[in-house]
C-alpha cells in the first residue's frame, strides 16, 4: 500500500510509510510513479538519523564506541563524560591518551573511573606516563604500527574486532590541522560502520547514496539560532541530490569539487523537524552545528558502575563551563 505526497515537505514525491527504524528501513514502493531519477527502481530504503540521541546518548537500544583522537579536547565536559559513560567500548588513540588524562585532570575526574578499555596507536607520540597509568588501571595497550593505515583507521579496526557496536563517535577538533581533517573524513568515508565526528560545535557523518532516503530528525535545540550546516561531496561527485528542510534546498543538483558544494546552508526555519536528503550516486558528508548550550546534567562520578551518582563537587566547578568560547566556527 502506498501513496504519494506532493506537499512542500516532499517535493520529490516520496512515499511515506509509517515506519521508524534507527538506521535503515526498506520501503517497497512503486518508483515509476516517483521519478526518482537514477535510484534503483525496485525499492527505496529510508535511513533515519537521530543526532540528538547520538549527542545526548539517549538511545539505550544502540551501542557505540568512543574514540579520543590526538587533538585538543574541547567538547563540553558534561557532554563528553556522558558519552564516555554510556559507551560500550572506549579507546584513546596515541597522544589522545595524554590529552584524555589532561582532560580528566582539568575537570577533577578520577582516571581510576575513566580509564579507556583500549589504547591504540603507533605510540610515537604518547607519553609513557599516561600509558603506564592506564595500563595499571586495566587498559589494554594495543600497538598498531602498520603505517599504511592511520591511527584512527587502526583504532576502528581494533574496536570492531572486539565489540559488536552500532556506531562510533570520535572526538576531534580541527583547528589548524586541515590534513587531519581530510584524513579523518577519509576514515569516515571508508568505514562501513557509521562514524560520527564530534567536536565542540559540530557533528558530521557520511550519508551514502545506497542508503536511500536519509531522514535526519531534528529538534529545536539543533535548529534554533540560525545554525549552519553543510553537505559536502566526498570521494566522487554526488549526482541528483534532492533535499527538504533546508533554506537552500537541492533539487537534482550535482555536488562536486570543481562544481558546487553546499556550505553555510541552514535549516528552513528554526523549528524544522526534519531534513531529508537523497542522491542517485555518491556520498555526502553532512556537517551540522550543535546546540551552543551545554547539557545541564552533571558530570557524573563513576562511568563504570550501573547506578550512577552525581558528585556535587564536580558539577559545581565552574571551570567546566567556558570551553565553548575557545573555538570559532568552521
Ligand X SMILES: *[C@@H]1O[C@H](CO)[C@@H](O)[C@H](O)[C@H]1NC(C)=O
Nearest-approach distance from CB 278 to ligand X, in angstroms: 12
CB of 321 to ligand X, least distance (A): 11
CB 168 within 8 Å of CB 193: yes
| Contact (Cβ atoms closer than 8 angstroms) between residue 238 and residue 254 | yes
Residues that bind ligand X (CB under 6 A): 9, 35, 37, 52, 56, 106, 108, 219, 221-222, 240, 245, 252, 268-269, 271-272, 291, 295, 297, 313, 317, 319
| Residue number, 160 or 294, with CB nearest to ligand X | 294
Name the helix (H) or strand (E) containing 81.
helix 77-86
Nearer to ligand X, 181 or 290 (CB): 290
Closest separation in Å from C-beta 151 to ligand X: 28
Residue 141: CB minimum distance to ligand X, A: 28
Pick from 89, 87, 92, 85: which is nearest to 68 by CA?
A: 92
Name residues whose C-beta falls within 8 Å of residue 5's C-beta, 6 or more positions apart in sequence: 13, 14, 15, 16
CB 48 within 8 A of CB 21: yes
The smaller minimum CB distance to ligand X, of residues 279 and 285, is found at 279
> Residue 141 or residue 308: which is nearer to ligand X going by CB?
308
Name which of 106 and 186 has its Cβ closer to ligand X.
106
Of 140 and 274, which CB lies nearer to ligand X in the complex structure?
Answer: 274
Of 150 and 240, which CB lies nearer to ligand X in the complex structure?
Answer: 240
DSSP string, 199-233: -SSEEEEEEEGGG-EEEEE--HHHHTTT-EEEEEE
For residue 251, the minimal CB distance to ligand X (Å) is 8
Shortest approach of ligand X to residue 16 CB, angstroms?
A: 14
Q: Which helix (H) or strand (E) holds 91?
A: strand 89-93
What is the smallest separation between the CB atom of 190 and ligand X, expressed in angstroms? 27
Report the candidate in 189, 202, 160 with the shortest Cα–Cα distance to residue 63: 160
Name the strand (E) or helix (H) holding 104. Answer: helix 96-106
Spatial distance between the Cα atoms of 77 and 298, rounded to a whole number of angstroms: 9
Amino acid at each position: 500500500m502506498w501513496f504519494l505526497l506532493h506537499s512542500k515537505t516532499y517535493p520529490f514525491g516520496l512515499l511515506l510509510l509509517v515506519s521508524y527504524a534507527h538506521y535503515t528501513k526498506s520501503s517497497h514502493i512503486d518508483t515509476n510513479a516517483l521519478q526518482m531519477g537514477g535510484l534503483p527502481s525496485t525499492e527505496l530504503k529510508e535511513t533515519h538519523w537521530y543526532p540528538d540521541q547520538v549527542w545526548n546518548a539517549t538511545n539505550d537500544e544502540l551501542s557505540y564506541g568512543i574514540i579520543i583522537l590526538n587533538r585538543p579536547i574541547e567538547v563540553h565536559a558534561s557532554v563528553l563524560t556522558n558519552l564516555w559513560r554510556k559507551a560500550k567500548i572506549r579507546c584513546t588513540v596515541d597522544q589522545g591518551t595524554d590529552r584524555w588524562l589532561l582532560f580528566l585532570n582539568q575537570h577533577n575526574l578520577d582516571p581510576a573511573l575513566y580509564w579507556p578499555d583500549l589504547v591504540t596507536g603507533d605510540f610515537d607520540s604518547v607519553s609513557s606516563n599516561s600509558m603506564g597509568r592506564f595500563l595499571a588501571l586495566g587498559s589494554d595497550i594495543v600497538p598498531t604500527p602498520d603505517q599504511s593505515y592511520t591511527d584512527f583507521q587502526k583504532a576502528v579496526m581494533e574496536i570492531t574486532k572486539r565489540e559488536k557496536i552500532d556506531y562510533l563517535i570520535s572526538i576531534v577538533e580541527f583547528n589548524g590541522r586541515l590534513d587531519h581533517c581530510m584524513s579523518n573524513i577519509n576514515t569516515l568515508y571508508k568505514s562501513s560502520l557509521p562514524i560520527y565526528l564530534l567536536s565542540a560545535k559540530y557533528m558530521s557523518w557520511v550519508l551514502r547514496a545506497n542508503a536511500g532516503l536519509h531522514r535526519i530528525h531534528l529538534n529545536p535545540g539543533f535548529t534554533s539560532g540560525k545554525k549552519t550546516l553543510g553537505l559536502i561531496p566526498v570521494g566522487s561527485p554526488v549526482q541528483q541530490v534532492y533535499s527538504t528542510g533546508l533554506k537552500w534546498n537541492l533539487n537534482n543538483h550535482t555536488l562536486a569539487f570543481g562544481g558546487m558544494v553546499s556550505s553555510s546552508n541552514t535549516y528552513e526555519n528554526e523549528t524544522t523537524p526534519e531534513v531529508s536528503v537523497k542522491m542517485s550516486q555518491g556520498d555526502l558528508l553532512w556537517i551540522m552545528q550543535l546546540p551552543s548550550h551545554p547539557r545541564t546534567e552533571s558530570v557524573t562520578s563513576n562511568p563504570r558502575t550501573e547506578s550512577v551518582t552525581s558528585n556535587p563537587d564536580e558539577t559545581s566547578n565552574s571551570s567546566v563551563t567556558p570551553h565553548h568560547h575557545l573555538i570559532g566556527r568552521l
